[in-house]
Chains A and B, each alone.
Chain A
Amino acid sequence: MFDRLRAFHRPATVAAALRLATAERRAGGRGAFVAGGTDLVVQGDGSLRWVVDLSLLPLRYVRRRGAGGGWTIGSTTTMADLERSAALRRFADGVLCDAAATAGSPQIRNRGTIGGNLANASPACDLAPPLLALDASAVIAGGAAGARKAAGGRRTVALERFFRGPGRPALNGGLLVEIVIPAPPVPRGGRAAWAFQKLGRLQSDIAVVNAAAGVIVGSDCRCRWARIAIGAAGPTPLRARRAEALLVGRPFDRDAAQAAAARAAGETRPVSDVRATADYRREMSRVLVGRALDECLERMGRDPWASW
């Protein structure tokens, strides 16, 4: 399958990984970074001449980011790590754990990593919607565009801008090393909830559509902040900003959720393929966003107006 492969590097540091990749690129020929290999091996690109294996890099971690309630996640953290992380389970209603748990099979999740899941830039990437709903950013080391020496050669890209198109991450030859999740802006007395929804043809499947929602309400039960993200419904995972805007400033209830879901569906740009038609994907975007928002409502303690 990889008949043309002539170099397999296994560096111990990010700097060495970047150095090796740069040297290989200069020498010519296609190559790739590999972590779990669950995409690279399946794709079986026979033109690869070199591979830099990331499994020895110290990037397999889930850490709190300061005291503010944010998180950093190393890019070789596996899907199984995320799925089982007790700390993440308590954060944002465990929305990242839930999403990670739907990717592939247990064997795939034991090998596949968050970095690989994102850096393949699949529109159906299961971690993208919850991370978009958490305003996450990608930290990229090295790469073209004049490596930013000031920040130790690292730059931070909002996840929304990380996805440029199917299979086109904004890496510019750099290496995705970390995901940064800021503390959600929950005001005093406010409540927050997140939820993830995925629809496949069968249980183990690439998403036909997936979606995540995050909602913060103030003590007045009005929505202060909303995030709606949808995958497999356009060339990249996307934020449904007009639907979000529909929620903010209004009481968050079932009607608002359904109206936002309908509007979110209108913001998708799905395609027809062997998995589903564009019309079906659009309709399922509405259903899944609606279900995610309903779940948020449930998690806030049912209808916030009930206690009013």
Chain B
Amino acid sequence: MSGASPPSPPSRRAVVGRRVRKVDGFKLVTGRTAFTDDIALPGLLVGRILASPHAHARIRDIDTRRAKALPGVHAVLTWKDVPRVPHTTAGQAWPEPSPYDTYLLDSKVRFVGDRVAAVAAETRAVAEEALRLIEVDWEVLPPVLDMEHAMDPGTAVIHDEPDATGIRDAARNLAGDIHTHIGDVEAGFRESDLILEREYRTPRQQHAMLEPHIVICWLDADNRLVIRTSTQIPFHVRRQVAMILRIPVSRIRVIKPRIGGGFGGKQEMVLEDLCAALTLASGRPVKLEYSRHEEFFMARTRHPQILRLRMGVKRDGTIVAHHMRVLAATGAYGSHCTTVQGNTGSKVLPLYRAPHLRFDCDVVYLTTPQAGAFRGYGCPQGYFAQESLVDEIAHELGMDPIAFRLKNAIRQGDVDELSAQLGEGKKGLPRTIRSCGLPECLEKGAAAIGWKEQRNGGVRRPGRLLRGVGVATTMQGSGIAGVDFAGAFLKANEDGSFNLQVGATDLGTGSDTVLAQIAAETLGVSLDKILIYSSDTDFTPFDVGAYASSTTIISGGAVKKAAEKVRDDMCCFAAQLLDAPPEDLVCRDNRVFAPGGKSVSMAEVAVHALYKEKTQVMEGASHFNTDSPPPFCATFAEVEVDTETGRVRPVHLVTAVDLGVAINPMQAEGQAEGAVAQGLGYALAEELVLDGRGRPANANFCDYKIFTAKDMPKLTTILVETEEPLGPFGAKSIAEVGINGVAPAVANAAFDATGLRFRRLPIRPDAVLAALGGRR
């Protein structure tokens, strides 16, 4: 942890805790060349993918002769042309806990949009003409589209290939399963005064990030493969591509420029392998990108789930037992399948300290678009169910939903043992709660929404517009305990600036700014003195990547350690100039001060070190945690239900979140607000719909509705700061937790307004109208 230096008191901090502007803000708003596509390469070819028109089929034969003969075509690849290496596209630390059930190209397709072949050509038009000239002899197989029947006897087997590994039971289309418990739920139910059992359904949500997946590959002067890609996981991509193409890691360099959003959709190697293969086959630079249409169904989605929850409580509101059963669909491939679903249990159930918990989960394959990582990572599904059920139980008991939650919620000093059983694909580590601001979140959030005044009470009153308020409490993690780790490297320049090199990936989260703030605060310099660069596998240290709400706590921890070492080095050289012992020196305001007040500038120290002492001040550090401190969140929603149209309109959303210490409160609020926008889409509008043959019915922004500025309600964001001992400057995380409570808070508010429970997302107007009984 944070070495010798005692933490500086928050009030004395110059950079951390301040609302500084994003370090990359200027280049973004002025449209500078920041993104993957913002380069021009001579001889660049355009890659295109032949997507499967069938949900499930075998390719008896494929004839590419006419495509190859087309002028301007430089490479045509099918499964016949590439190595067959089972792998997972999930961007997870090695060894990945996801099954190895995916191939660069295969003689079988498993969803509409699956890869059949790929072409690289002089222009997009030629590439698409070449795709049309590829002749495929199909053996169409029965699609498997219903997760409730995927394991039925006689159902077509989706992964019948012999070389896949890590699949739980391929013959039953079972990708993975999880069964774990604490105590004995059946005994717990026998002790309960009230038991409720309910079923909830959640949709296939798409990330809809601004920048679709895009990769540009080329061979450099030394014939090394360069992959410039929009990814959250540059180091995992390097390892995965090396394995899939059977080339050494040393022959690959991955460059991650600025990323235009990911939300987990880029915690995945989606196009890099194929683009690299096209470059190797053609010897030319190749660009491969998804169109918006393709992004919807050929990238990744959130896992749809059916959840059945059974909860038993005492009459006084004490939760005794909770049994959560989950059926989830991973789609055609099992990327992130057991880890996302594991989270549905491990980050949801322990929020309430019941002595008897049980989690059972099956994750099935379907011939549908592939699911993967998505902000919240299994929690939005679990919390929609749990927070809806808890609300219903509180209502049944005649208890205030806030009081019920406070009575049962986990608190500081508690140890969550379920997390120990549900690690990242293996046994995990128990989670000790060292900081918890949940009571304060509930209190401040309730005041902001007007909880007492606005509550309607779940009774249907007359009138066209009905209003109600609802609440949900949630938590998440901050990095994966014992798995996530990061490196950081710092060196001093002669003007008192410092290069900070990190493998972390800012995908719009603001992590470049936060990490630079941590370095500046630790070194006692102003933010403009930190030149952050992220990331390039040749020049920046390893980092597992931007996921699991890990960057501030894990990468930030590495930055803080490296900065402390550099600060100590600078003090040693300053000691020579100030004629004082290094341990007595203090760094602040870009200077180093001796106890008497005498000081030298960082620039003078750096010049002294470089030109006098012939030493480059530079230090690296690595960091990991053996625990994942949860941020806590109370989400409140006020909604208006139109009883004639069935529309549920959010009026006011309050997010009160305990994120530890906010390194940058402005960015933290932005994360919370963005999570609400995405959460409202999940609650009320977003769903990738498939037709009876597995084809996407709304793969465009016209018919896949996300919340826009015009749809957003009033937002109130309250940062409840606690001091987390495991985080740099007391920080935990903020990226994901805010999305978890939006859907249940909206559903609970809709109940408060109408007296009706909505247990299926998104809450569609026609369903609301049907529940209201129409008004004919």
A-B CB proximity, top 6 nearest: A3-B125, A203-B710, A280-B766, A274-B697, A287-B644, A274-B698
Q: Are B705 and A201 neighbours in the complex by a CB distance under 8 Å?
A: yes
CA distance A2 to B186 in the complex (A): 64
Whether, in the assembled complex, B280 has its beta carbon less than 8 Å from a beta carbon of chain A, the answer is no
- B102-136 residues with Cβ-Cβ distance < 8 A to A are 124-125, 128
A202 contacts B685, C-beta separation under 8 Å = yes
Contact of A203 among B125, B711, B769 (CB under 8 A): B711
Residues of chain B within 8 A of A3, CB atoms compared: 124-125, 128
**Interfacial residues of chain A within 276-303, with CB under 8 A of chain B in the complex:** 276-277, 279-280, 283-284, 286-287
In the bound complex, residues from chain A placing their C-beta under 8 Å from that of B124 are: 3
Task: Flag if A202 contacts B702 (CB, 8 Å).
Answer: no
Q: For residues 751 through 773 of chain B, which have their beta carbon under 8 Å from a beta carbon of chain A?
A: 765-766, 769
Give Cα A283–Cα B646 distance, bound, in whole angstroms.
Answer: 11
The CA of A201 and the CA of B707, in the complex, are separated in Å by 10
Determine whether B774 belongs to the interface, using a CB cutoff of 8 Å to chain A.
yes
Nearest CB in chain A: distance from B701 CB, A: 10
Question: Which residues of chain B come closer than 8 Å to A206, judged between CB atoms?
Answer: 702
A205 within 8 A of B: yes
Which residues of the other chain, A, contact B707 by a CB distance below 8 angstroms?
A: 202
A222 → B minimal CB distance (Å): 28
- A205 near B705: Cβ-Cβ < 8 Å: yes
**In the complex, are the beta carbons of B766 and A203 less than 8 A apart?**
no
* Interface size range of chain B in the complex: 20 to 34
Chain B residue contacts of A276, Cβ below 8 A:
765-766
- Please pick, from B128, B703, B708, B766, the residue contacting A277 in the complex, using a CB distance under 8 A: B766
Interface residues of A in 233-292 (CB under 8 A from B): 274-277, 279-280, 283-284, 286-287
Complex interface: chain A residues within 8 A of B697 (CB): 274
Q: Is there contact, CB below 8 Å, between A275 and B125?
A: no
Interface status of B155 (Cβ within 8 A of chain A): no
- The chain B residue sitting closest to A276, CB to CB, is B766
* Interchain CB contact (< 8 A) of A283 among B647, B710, B711, B774: B774
Nearest CB in chain B: distance from A265 CB, A: 9
Q: How far is the CA of A205 from the CA of B776 in the complex (A)?
A: 26
Contacts of A202 in B (CB 8 A): 685, 705, 707-708, 710-711
User: Of B644, B646, B708, B776, which is in contact with the most chain A CB atoms at under 10 Å from its CB?
Assistant: B644
A219 vs chain B, min Cβ distance (A): 32
Size category of the A interface is 20 to 34
Which residue of chain A lies nearest to B642 when distances are taken between CB atoms in the complex?
A287
Q: In this assembly, does A199 line the interface, its C-beta being within 8 Å of a C-beta of chain B?
A: yes
Within 8 A of A (CB), among B492-544: none
Give the chain B neighbours of A286 by CB distance below 8 A: 776
A198-232: which have CB < 8 Å to B?
199, 201-206
CA distance A120 to B647 in the complex (A): 29
User: How far in angstroms is the closest Cβ of chain A from B374?
Assistant: 20
Given contacts A280-B765, A280-B766, is CB(A201)–CB(B685) below 8 Å? yes
Nearest-CB distance from A266 to chain B (Å)?
A: 12
A277 to B767, CA, bound (A): 11
Which residue of chain B lies nearest to A286 when distances are taken between CB atoms in the complex?
Answer: B776
Could you list some 23 contacts between A and B, CB below 8 A?
A3-B128, A42-B702, A199-B645, A201-B685, A202-B685, A202-B705, A202-B708, A202-B711, A203-B708, A203-B711, A204-B708, A204-B711, A205-B705, A206-B702, A274-B689, A274-B697, A274-B703, A280-B765, A283-B769, A283-B774, A283-B776, A286-B776, A287-B644
User: Which residues of A are found within 8 Å of B765, using beta-carbon distances?
Assistant: 201, 276, 280
Return chain A residues, CB-CB under 8 Å to B708: 105, 202-204
| B483 → chain A closest CB, angstroms | 39
Task: List 19 other contacts, CB 8 Å, given A274-B703, A283-B769.
Answer: A3-B124, A3-B125, A105-B708, A201-B685, A201-B705, A201-B765, A202-B685, A202-B707, A202-B708, A202-B710, A202-B711, A203-B710, A203-B711, A204-B710, A204-B711, A206-B702, A275-B703, A280-B769, A287-B645
Separation of A201 and B768 alpha carbons in the complex (Å): 13
Alpha-carbon separation in the docked complex, A204 to B710 (Å): 7
Smallest beta-carbon distance A233→chain B, Å: 14
Which residues in chain B, 659-717, are within 8 Å of chain A measured between CB atoms? 685, 689, 697-698, 702-703, 705, 707-708, 710-711
Q: Could you tell me the distance between the alpha carbons of A153 and B456 in the complex, rounded to whole angstroms?
A: 65
Known A201-B685, A204-B708, A204-B710; contact A284-B703, beta-carbon cutoff 8 A: no
Shortest beta-carbon distance from A244 to chain B in Å: 21
CB distance from A45 to the nearest CB of B (A): 14
A234 vs chain B, min Cβ distance (A): 18
* Distance of A258 from chain B, by nearest CB (Å): 11
Report B152 CB to chain A, min CB distance, Å.
27
The smallest C-beta distance from B454 to any residue of chain A, in angstroms, reads 23
Cβ contacts under 8 Å, A205 to chain B: 705
Complex-state Cα separation, A277 to B702, whole angstroms: 17
- For A42, give the chain B residue with the smallest CB separation: B702
Bound CA span A22–B647, Å: 48
